[in-house]
């Protein structure tokens, strides 16, 4: 859990001139190719449940169209909440046998064989403010079918512990490559982030991650710290959120080793005090981003030149 001065962050975070007037289209996407031009951000809804006050990770469902999964930061229990685009809670999913020492991000990707077929929810219990954790872990659970959901759901996740090659590191950004391998981006305050990938996933067996080329996220300090990430469904674009900005990077052949730091495209975001959650919406061809706080805006950035 982190607490910052709202006034300080408001001054430093860039904001749009006003809400965008481009509505998310409910029609299916015309192309799976990455977006060429992003429009202005706007918000038509807020997260309705006021008790959800520290959203730190979001993921947009393909299996359940219109559903956005969210989770809170540390101290809120191992619970995922499914909300719709209007911000209403559809159901909650409690992960039995799991803890939430410091959940920081989540993503949706292809399930590992031991988790079944289809899409899985990947949750990163990876926060490490003191850079001293010895137990960072990914939790993976099959995404439930929400065609007729119960008010509450339960499932038992698989645990995938890991270590970094250079010792403990703080992390708040998780994405999943098209091959189902997770990608983690470290959080630092020296304007540098290092992507790390998994060579394999083995439940309950610690693996050492693979470090890739570091990249700059702006000026040194709090506002350049990476707080969230996501991958376009083909894996060729990497979305990276910091407290101050949002960037999109080219990832040729969905290969973290081929990431081009010079390809960074800055994307306009709505004003947020503490932005820690971002996700592509492949069905609407857009981007959602949500900040911490009670009843936060659900901000949407549409693709206007597909």
Q: Give 7's DSSP letter.
A: H
When pLDDT is cut at 50, 70 and 90, the band that residue 29 belongs to is: very low
H or E segment at 8?
helix 6-12
Percent of the chain with pLDDT over 70: 90
User: Mean pLDDT for the chain?
Assistant: 90
Q: What is the mean pLDDT of residues 283-294?
A: 96
Determine the 3-state secondary structure of 180 from DSSP: coil
When pLDDT is cut at 50, 70 and 90, the band that residue 2 belongs to is: low
Say how far apart CA 169 and CA 195 lie, in whole Å.
12
Would the pLDDT of 17 be above 60? no
CATH class of 29-305: mainly beta
When pLDDT is cut at 50, 70 and 90, the band that residue 14 belongs to is: very low
Determine the 3-state secondary structure of 82 from DSSP: strand
Q: What is the pLDDT of residues 40-52, one digit of tens each?
A: 999 999 999 999 9
pLDDT score, position 229:
98
C-beta of residue 92 within 8 angstroms of C-beta of residue 120: no
HEC per residue, 219-283: CCCHHHCEEEEEECCCCCEEEEEECCCEEEEECHHHCHHHCEEEEEEEECCCCCCCEEEEEEECC
pLDDT score, position 12:
38
Would the pLDDT of 24 be above 60? no
Say how far apart CA 273 and CA 49 lie, in whole Å.
19
**Where in the chain are the domains?**
29-305
Q: What is the pLDDT of residues 50-100, one digit of tens each?
A: 999 999 999 999 999 999 999 999 778 999 999 999 999 999 999 999 999
pLDDT score, position 273:
85
Query: 């909650």: which residue's tokens?
Result: 92
């Amino acid at each position: 859990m982190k607490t910052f001065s709202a006034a300080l962050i408001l001054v430093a975070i860039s904001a749009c001139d006003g809400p965008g007037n481009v509505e998310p289209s409910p029609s299916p996407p015309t192309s799976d190719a990455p977006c060429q031009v992003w429009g202005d951000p706007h918000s038509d809804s807020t997260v309705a449940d006021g008790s959800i006050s520290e959203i730190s990770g979001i993921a947009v469902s393909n299996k359940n169209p219109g559903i956005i999964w969210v989770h809170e930061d540390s101290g809120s229990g191992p619970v995922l909440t499914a909300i719709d685009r209007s911000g209403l809670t559809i159901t909650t999913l409690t992960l039995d046998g799991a803890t939430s020492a410091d959940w920081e991000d989540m993503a949706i990707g292809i399930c590992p064989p031991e988790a079944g077929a289809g899409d899985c929810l990947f949750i990163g219990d990876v926060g490490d403010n003191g850079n001293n954790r010895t137990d960072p872990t990914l939790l993976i659970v099959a995404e439930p079918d929400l065609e007729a959901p119960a008010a509450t759901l339960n499932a038992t996740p698989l645990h995938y512990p890991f270590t970094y090659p250079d010792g403990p590191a703080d992390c708040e950004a998780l994405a999943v490559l098209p091959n189902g391998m997770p990608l983690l981006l470290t959080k630092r305050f020296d304007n540098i982030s290092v992507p790390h990938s998994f060579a394999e996933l083995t439940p309950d067996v610690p693996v050492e991650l693979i470090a890739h080329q570091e990249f700059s996220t702006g000026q040194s300090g709090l506002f350049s710290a990476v707080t969230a990430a996501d991958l376009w469904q083909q894996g060729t674009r990497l979305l990276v959120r910091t407290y101050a900005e949002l960037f999109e990077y080219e990832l040729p052949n969905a290969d973290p080793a081929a990431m081009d730091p010079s390809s960074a495209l800055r994307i306009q975001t709505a004003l947020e005090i503490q932005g820690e959650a971002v996700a592509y919406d492949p069905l609407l061809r857009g981007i959602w981003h949500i900040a911490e706080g009670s009843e936060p805006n659900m901000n949407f950035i549409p693709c206007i030149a597909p």
